[in-house]
Structure 1
């Protein structure tokens, strides 16, 4: 079995590195409306700025810098297009970013998703919407209303400001669907799979004859059981996008509504009582790690999560002159959640523990930005100067009830033997005994101002980015009466040099920000307000655009500050002296090396270490961070059957530790996905597309290790999805 696993690992790596590295160059033009940054003229792309093959776009929204082409931008970003999202039949954001090895799925339950970028944990609450934080649905990650998903890898305090929950490894930005000139976006799609989920989706987009006004609508419904045991999901959503393109101004309005109901979701397995001294002598040490079984259930019956999301955002841009543009955006969101769930823990002595909880949550946010972008020249140097002010305010009304006692069971022999598939079936079913109630928990305000200067030489061979962002953080913890009020300045420097028409090299220094802590009574410095934690990033890289594909290679180091307990004169103090260091190398490729063959793949090597931590685990690998990750997808058109394509995707993730002392780890894995797509003319000559995908073809059982605490989450077994889409 070990040899078979090794063969699969080598096959996955070979599939990735064998992606071709030859191509051609030609001329192209960029759409003046889409690209507001520097024009480039070195390789062919479609009018939608897509790399050949259509799965990845050449441009991305870099926050304060605006929409720019990757070859003249000193950052590593991947923009997944609607074609990529649709062709892999992604239903949520984690399905999309799974195509990038720099991300790691950190989902902690069947109702809550998270991920890591460059080894640093992020959350769905930190996704930006058209470059604006705080507006995207907070607890729903479906992508039916999304045209593109932009994944920026690396610290981004200058570009987007501090994210609401302090994610520092990168940023994910949603680009909503809007009507496109000359493209038929009107379709009906029926989907069945991932258990017995039956979904229906309507897309309708239209523009006026003069191309000034456009409107796009997406309606979506799905219902049925999922591939996880006893889990059922029902979703109703609607998304509306309106835009106006004038000669000197542009207006955009996007709004959405989501109702998402999940019954009996799956949950993670948490470990309690693990310490460095006990770990070799406990039940785990004697019996080995818990075996993964995707049929096992760690969620209690009658648990649920009901979520309603409402949001809207308007953006306006006005050209005062050829060289000066003003812009402003205002967005609002309201989220309501009723969440009855359980914690499932296994102690070091092999005792199962369950606690039932109920979270009533209302979250209201208002986000705004306003700024000016001007262009001028000093000698032979061109300048693009941007100043932007941002304000994000949100309030959480929340009551989190918990049972006063933990339900214990005798030893459960499931560490190495999962013959009892429904693990929590050994525990009683709990009914929600708590009434609805959501008191004001905390009020938060993030304000800031960023100033950037993008300088380029007359021949566009050199581009320099110089900037900084001042960020003010205020949190009122209403239930405790404490207030956090601090500020920080984050400078940034970056440079891009075009070696030739096909190659650029770049380097950057960037920072990320996370709010500090208010020290509690467990420490001698009770009440002290710790300054915001900074993450400092150094990155170098190269980008290659051959005309047939786009390749990015980067190396980075990120150091994140955090809490550390220091003992002075026998007393414990909580300080900001902790440090985690992540060093890594990334490679990504996307394109069409020859007509009818499309490839997309990426690889990341990562060393994540506790640099300053407790003596018992300082220098160890950070939990939940595998050293190797890789994904490669090849799609081939079958010439003998017009409209038929087949695809193969390999996904590799290396082993990772579940505890800070690096004693126990989950094993590495390779999973394989197969897909096919058939495009044909249906009744009345309407274009139709039939898609079928099988994920985890070999039904591999595996665990994902969590990066925030000792916990694991069981991966999906073999699943399949089929869909039929009709254009009208």
Structure 2
């Protein structure tokens, strides 16, 4: 599932949608991270409150964006993401000067057509990067991204009485159920290394986004028909500011080495609405699934979307931190840190007038021991101020601020470098988080918090080259999850919603030795059963998905040529991504990349 281009990622049974962008915390609304600006994705398992504050209890996803290339890059890619949604992508980079001090990178994308289920989509993205060493010790960069995204006939949200299988290869919404977004992002960073003992790092981010969402939600009836609820949000304006400044110092006390970091980070998000905000209409007619895409757009009212923009709410997260990476000897080391975290909300206009601010000093501590050179063991404890949230537009108590609380994580683990290119890691963990959920009330549910969501688990991960020709990325997680310390006795011991106790995934690439340049790819992804409601009466079935693909690299007219083919959900499995969203149908994607 994704919203405005940002996927909802589940790590250790917890869902996170707020991305980290080159080390800066962003809010999900309006963040619009495009795949073409990303160089790599860093997955940080476990509570990440020390660096980024709360709201990422299971882990964080850090999108590291592209920089200039050391050698000239001229790449054109033409392809298809599935259905008829073809795209063209140009990636150009290099250096301005012979010494290689100043560089550039430009990525341009145009995408249009229909998805695999017939959702019209159109996207234009432009990403520009300038970077370089202003002096031998001072590096700076400036990045700008423009994103214009439109998608029609987006699949509805499903509120089910009985969890039935629904054909995911069809769409069930009319074209006017849409998601539109236009975003401008600017980012700049600075790194100064005045000596081998000190490094100063800083970055600043600004984003201005306009977005609009027309959403259909379906209430299943006893006779397997559906009554639609229609939500229309006028153009919203989201402004995201963020930045950090860190000072790293390296020194020794007696025989103990230290890398001490002092720093401050802050993010600010403002949402502005036009007029009276979102309009909700609840239907009274029963429809078959096949009839839903013919529903006419309702009359939203003469005053809908009129008037001037006004602030609906603002949110702020501040972090003042100090951390020390301590090396006692070749075998023993430790990492300790403190973060004075603040989360604040201010509501105006249609959400009412109120202020909320809470601060907490949260510790982080890890002890590491290397019994042999290739093995590292560790034990760690982390706390994070879990940020308060504003209840979203699909709930009856929209705009309500849920108070921030503390989340905790205990972990013990081992990492083993089997060889320089293959890493095995395993961990035992316990995570305690505020239990937040939909009460599934009708006709419109409320979003509430009560008790603790506790995840006790073990995970095993293997990544790297097993042989010269075989590369794998795989792992599994087993968890014992439950609700504790609830005010409602009926919730005590129940399983949290949308959290699978078992997950296993493996992706592999095999380079055929008898056909140089040809790699076969494939993946198997298993997600165990979950519950869709707090009473645990609605069970989301487990599912296994299969992907296959191939990549062929060759040279044509002395230019590199790469052809890719991927089949996603090979068997066309019908499944539920979560309690509200259908899974992805069988999708065939392909592309051709060439240098020029």
Q: Do the two structures share a fold, i.e. TM-score over 0.5?
A: yes
Which residue matches 2:179?
A: 305
The 8 Å contact of residues 111 and 305 in structure 1, kept in 2 or not, is answered as no
Matching of residues 622-661 of structure 1 within 5 Å: 622-661=496-535
User: Which stretch has the larger CA shift, 439-448 or 395-404?
Assistant: 395-404
Which residue matches 1:192?
A: 80
Which residue matches 2:114?
A: 225
| Structure 2: gaps of 5 or more residues | 392-399, 438-446
Following TM superposition, by how much is the alpha carbon of 1:403 offset from its aligned partner in structure 2, in angstroms? Answer: 4.8
User: Which stretch has the larger CA shift, 441-450 or 240-249?
Assistant: 240-249
Distance (whole Å) between structure 2 residues aligned to residue 594 and residue 404 of structure 1: 57
Following TM superposition, by how much is the alpha carbon of 1:506 offset from its aligned partner in structure 2, in angstroms? Answer: 1.3
Q: Which has the higher contact order (CA 8 A, sep 6+)?
A: 1
Does residue 138 (structure 1) correspond to residue 14 (structure 2)? The answer is no
The 8 Å contact of residues 128 and 145 in structure 2, kept in 1 or not, is answered as yes
Following TM superposition, by how much is the alpha carbon of 1:294 offset from its aligned partner in structure 2, in angstroms? Answer: 0.8
Following TM superposition, by how much is the alpha carbon of 1:609 offset from its aligned partner in structure 2, in angstroms? Answer: 0.9
* 1:171-215 deviation digits (Å, cap 9, x = unpaired): 111111112324x53200001241111000000110233232121
Distance of aligned partners of 1:408 and 1:352 in 2 relative to their CA distance in 1, 3 Å threshold: farther
Which residue matches 2:380?
A: 508
The 8 Å contact of residues 517 and 530 in structure 1, kept in 2 or not, is answered as yes
Which residue matches 1:203?
A: 91
Distance (whole Å) between structure 1 residues aligned to residue 130 and residue 77 of structure 2: 22
RMSD of the TM alignment (CA)? 2.6
Higher share in helix? 1
Following TM superposition, by how much is the alpha carbon of 1:108 offset from its aligned partner in structure 2, in angstroms? Answer: 6.8
Following TM superposition, by how much is the alpha carbon of 1:318 offset from its aligned partner in structure 2, in angstroms? Answer: 1.4
* 1:364-394 deviation digits (Å, cap 9, x = unpaired): 1221222311111111100111110122222
User: Which stretch has the larger CA shift, 462-471 or 631-640?
Assistant: 631-640
Which residue matches 1:235?
A: 123
Query: SS of the counterpart of 1:594?
Result: coil
Distance (whole Å) between structure 1 residues aligned to residue 76 and residue 457 of structure 2: 43
Which residue matches 1:5?
A: none
Distance of aligned partners of 1:365 and 1:592 in 2 relative to their CA distance in 1, 3 Å threshold: same
Query: SS of the counterpart of 1:144?
Result: helix
Distance of aligned partners of 1:181 and 1:491 in 2 relative to their CA distance in 1, 3 Å threshold: same
Which residue matches 1:585?
A: 458
Which residue matches 1:115?
A: 9
The 8 Å contact of residues 6 and 19 in structure 2, kept in 1 or not, is answered as no
The 8 Å contact of residues 340 and 432 in structure 1, kept in 2 or not, is answered as no
Match for 1:155 among 38, 43, 47? Answer: 47
Query: SS of the counterpart of 2:407?
Result: strand
Matching of residues 45-56 of structure 1 within 5 Å: none
Distance (whole Å) between structure 2 residues aligned to residue 554 and residue 404 of structure 1: 46
* 1:241-277 deviation digits (Å, cap 9, x = unpaired): 2221342122122221100011111122024xxxxxx
Which residue matches 2:19?
A: 127
Following TM superposition, by how much is the alpha carbon of 1:113 offset from its aligned partner in structure 2, in angstroms? Answer: 3.9
Distance (whole Å) between structure 1 residues aligned to residue 389 and residue 591 of structure 2: 48
Which residue matches 1:50?
A: none
Distance of aligned partners of 1:490 and 1:225 in 2 relative to their CA distance in 1, 3 Å threshold: same
Distance (whole Å) between structure 2 residues aligned to residue 426 and residue 255 of structure 1: 40
Distance of aligned partners of 1:426 and 1:309 in 2 relative to their CA distance in 1, 3 Å threshold: closer
The 8 Å contact of residues 140 and 260 in structure 1, kept in 2 or not, is answered as no
Distance (whole Å) between structure 2 residues aligned to residue 138 and residue 289 of structure 1: 32
Matching of residues 397-416 of structure 1 within 5 Å: 397-399=272-274, 401-403=277-279, 405-410=281-286
Distance (whole Å) between structure 1 residues aligned to residue 20 and residue 390 of structure 2: 27
* 1:587-641 deviation digits (Å, cap 9, x = unpaired): 1111112112111112111222111222122101111111111111221112222
The 8 Å contact of residues 127 and 172 in structure 1, kept in 2 or not, is answered as yes
* 1:50-94 deviation digits (Å, cap 9, x = unpaired): xxxxxxxxxxxxxxxxxxxxxxxxxxxxxxxxxxxxxxxxxxxxx
Which residue matches 2:567?
A: 694
Which residue matches 1:478?
A: 348
Following TM superposition, by how much is the alpha carbon of 1:160 offset from its aligned partner in structure 2, in angstroms? Answer: 2.0
Distance (whole Å) between structure 2 residues aligned to residue 577 and residue 136 of structure 1: 23
* 1:222-244 deviation digits (Å, cap 9, x = unpaired): 0000012x311111001122221
Following TM superposition, by how much is the alpha carbon of 1:650 offset from its aligned partner in structure 2, in angstroms? Answer: 0.9
* 1:146-189 deviation digits (Å, cap 9, x = unpaired): 00100111111112223xxx23221111111112324x532000
Distance (whole Å) between structure 2 residues aligned to residue 595 and residue 544 of structure 1: 19
Match for 1:554 among 408, 427, 445? Answer: 427
Count of aligned pairs:
568
Matching of residues 94-113 of structure 1 within 5 Å: 107=1, 113=7
Query: SS of the counterpart of 2:50?
Result: helix
Does residue 382 (structure 1) correspond to residue 233 (structure 2)? The answer is no
Match for 2:411 among 539, 542, 549? Answer: 539
Following TM superposition, by how much is the alpha carbon of 1:466 offset from its aligned partner in structure 2, in angstroms? Answer: 1.0
The 8 Å contact of residues 503 and 526 in structure 2, kept in 1 or not, is answered as yes
Distance (whole Å) between structure 2 residues aligned to residue 390 and residue 591 of structure 1: 34
The 8 Å contact of residues 373 and 386 in structure 1, kept in 2 or not, is answered as yes
Match for 1:262 among 151, 167, 170? Answer: 151
The 8 Å contact of residues 179 and 185 in structure 1, kept in 2 or not, is answered as no
Distance (whole Å) between structure 1 residues aligned to residue 64 and residue 280 of structure 2: 44
Distance (whole Å) between structure 1 residues aligned to residue 295 and residue 201 of structure 2: 57
Query: SS of the counterpart of 2:51?
Result: helix
Distance of aligned partners of 1:500 and 1:358 in 2 relative to their CA distance in 1, 3 Å threshold: same
The 8 Å contact of residues 460 and 476 in structure 2, kept in 1 or not, is answered as yes
